Amino acid sequence: MFATKFLVQGVLHISLPPQFKMDKNQVWDAVLARMGEKISRMEFLTWFKKVEISQISGGAVELVCPTEMNANWLQSKYYSLILANVQAVMPEIDKIFFRIDLSLADNESKKEDPDVFAAPTKPRKIRNKPEARVAPGLNTRITQEKFSLDSFIVGDENQFAHAACQAVVTSTCDPQVKAQYNPMFIFGGVGLGKTHLIQGIANDIRRQSPGSVVLYVTSERFINEIVQAIKNRKTDEFRKKYRRVDAFILDDVQFFEGKEKTQEELFNTFNDLFEFGKQIVFAADRPPSELLGISDRLRSRMGWGLLADVKMPNFETRLAIIQSKMKEKQLLLPPDVQEFIATNIRHNLRELENILNQISAEMDLQGISPTPQTVGKIFRSINPEREIEIKADGTSSLARCTDDLITIISDYFQVPATELLGSSRKKEIVFPRQICWLLCKDILKMSFEAIGKDFGGKNHTTIMHGIRKIRTLARTDSQTARHLHALKKDLGLK
């Protein structure tokens, strides 16, 4: 009658007996309990405390959030983490949706902090990581040790930004070297490596100059601290705290748009740090000139120094990143799978981590050897609207033989592969079988005789008749046309 908790490769799993069905509140509590070691109590209080599951339907969960910013932040920063932990509780879930309910913001949440988020009685310490406390009253967000400038894969698109970050570390650690790039403003789309670079700056400064005070904060934490300082009438204390550092690194500056008091405090902090020659690094999803909700004087100061654009790496660089991640995760993937992933990671490198984790899980838990076909399914489960490609020109297909097509069509129409190869005259079998013949002809360029041979020795005239029938339906029946379009999309054809 009770849930069983067990560890698999250091990951907490919750197993429920078949007769026990959790309601949506219990599901969410279980998810938060799993996330306890991955997010801080401050993150929980800021972004999760007033969030609820509004409904669970089919393979989707809808989360309701109190504000638009809350929903946007969860979707952009925590989507993969939430989905992975929801799936650990309910494996059938493959999508998370977000909805806004402003009434939640006005209601005082009665949700108690899960034990994992309870305030610790002693300062929290993490092995092999720098302490969160850098000076009395001064805290920095703990950076991930794996992020360093040496571990960053450099390509043509990000070579300039990487070199600038190295120069910032050198000038901060060596008082004899004049700071050339102060402030530095790094910008680029989501998941392109900005966080790796700025956390790499923080980690490298700490390693090369242990006595330096490096403060790395997100816009979320900066905003929260200002709100608390105003609420508790401690703005003077807040100002003093942020002005005694050697390097101030601020992530996601775009979230300051429209927050006038926060911008004012950042403006004053900037002036003091800059006057005393302290290094300042900003990161955002776009350059200062496009931060329209930021005051002119603050935007002007952000653009005083060096602007470094981080772009999506090209195919070769993406392939190098995949191989680096494989080494880190101790994964061995065939070259065609590596190239398939590099081809289809086109907009967001953060998705790569999720893809490799899914592949690793399938290998460990189900014994599935990765192929372009199995990895293609993972891509489509993450984003059903994705256009899968084998090569940049879209001329190659995921199907390389008859068996590949039979497997894909069997899965698409939910009919046994043996039935497609058999002689059943049922309409629900004949239709997908004939579609399979058509795709064998069009995609694999097989002769009618070869198709007939692979499908149980059928006469080539039977194959011709079936293919002709599907071609006619594709022109006159919209449903048949949709099936063919969807199948070709699943096969990675444009």
Q: Which residue type, as a one-letter code, is found at position 112?
A: E
Domain shared by 276 and 165, yes or no: yes
pLDDT of amino acid 186: 93
DSSP secondary structure letter of residue 181: S
Q: Residue 134, SS3? A: strand
State how far the alpha carbon of 87 is from the alpha carbons of 9, 44, 95, in Å.
16, 19, 9
Domain shared by 176 and 268, yes or no: yes
In a domain, 392, yes or no: no
Q: For residue 316, with 0-12 CB atoms within 10 Å meaning exposed, 13-18 middle and 19 or more buried, which class applies?
A: exposed
Domain shared by 338 and 357, yes or no: yes
- Print the domain residue range for 413: 402-490
Q: For residue 103, with 0-12 CB atoms within 10 Å meaning exposed, 13-18 middle and 19 or more buried, which class applies?
A: exposed
In a domain, 388, yes or no: no
Domain shared by 137 and 26, yes or no: no
Last residue of a domain, one of 292, 309, 326: 309
99 phi/psi in degrees, rounded to 5: -135, 150
Last residue of a domain, one of 271, 287, 309: 309
Q: Are 195 and 147 in contact (CB under 8 A)?
A: yes
Closest CA to 28 of 77, 85, 97: 85
Domain shared by 179 and 300, yes or no: yes
Domain shared by 90 and 158, yes or no: no
Domain shared by 143 and 281, yes or no: yes
- How far is 32 from 170, CA to CA, in rounded Å? 41
Reading the block at residue 425, the tokens are 């005259």
In a domain, 371, yes or no: yes
Domain shared by 167 and 305, yes or no: yes
Q: What is the CATH number of the domain that holds 373?
A: 1.10.8
Chain-centre distance for alpha carbon 440: 36
In a domain, 124, yes or no: no
Could you tell me the sign of the dihedral formed by the alpha carbons of 230, 236, 241, 244, in that order? positive
pLDDT of amino acid 283: 92
In a domain, 396, yes or no: no
Which residues on neighbouring strands pair with residue 15, listed in sequence order?
Answer: 4
Domain shared by 292 and 323, yes or no: no
Q: Are 197 and 186 in contact (CB under 8 A)?
A: yes
Domain shared by 279 and 164, yes or no: yes
Domain shared by 234 and 156, yes or no: yes
67 phi/psi in degrees, rounded to 5: -140, 160
Which residues on neighbouring strands pair with residue 62, listed in sequence order?
Answer: 55, 97
Q: What is the CATH number of the domain that holds 430?
A: 1.10.1750.10
Give the mean pLDDT per block of 10 residues along the chain (494 residues): 42 43 81 76 79 88 88 84 87 89 70 51 43 50 75 87 91 76 89 88 87 85 85 79 82 88 88 86 91 90 90 87 86 86 82 84 78 79 68 55 83 86 88 91 87 88 91 89 82 66
Closest CA to 206 of 139, 129, 124, 274: 129
Q: Are 263 and 255 in contact (CB under 8 A)?
A: no
Domain shared by 150 and 96, yes or no: no
Could you tell me the sign of the dihedral formed by the alpha carbons of 77, 221, 44, 231, in that order? negative
pLDDT of amino acid 392: 42
pLDDT of amino acid 130: 43
Q: Where are the strands (E) in 103-199, listed by range?
A: 133-135, 138-139, 184-187
Reading the block at residue 231, the tokens are 């609420």
Q: Are 368 and 469 in contact (CB under 8 A)?
A: no
Q: What is the number of structural domains in the chain? A: 4
- How far is 33 from 52, CA to CA, in rounded Å? 14
> Strands 279-284, 306-309: parallel, antiparallel or unpaired by DSSP?
unpaired
Q: Round to the nearest angstrom and report the end-to-end CA distance of the chain.
A: 51
pLDDT of amino acid 464: 92
Q: What is the CATH number of the domain that holds 24?
A: 3.30.300.180
In a domain, 70, yes or no: yes
Last residue of a domain, one of 352, 382, 412: 382
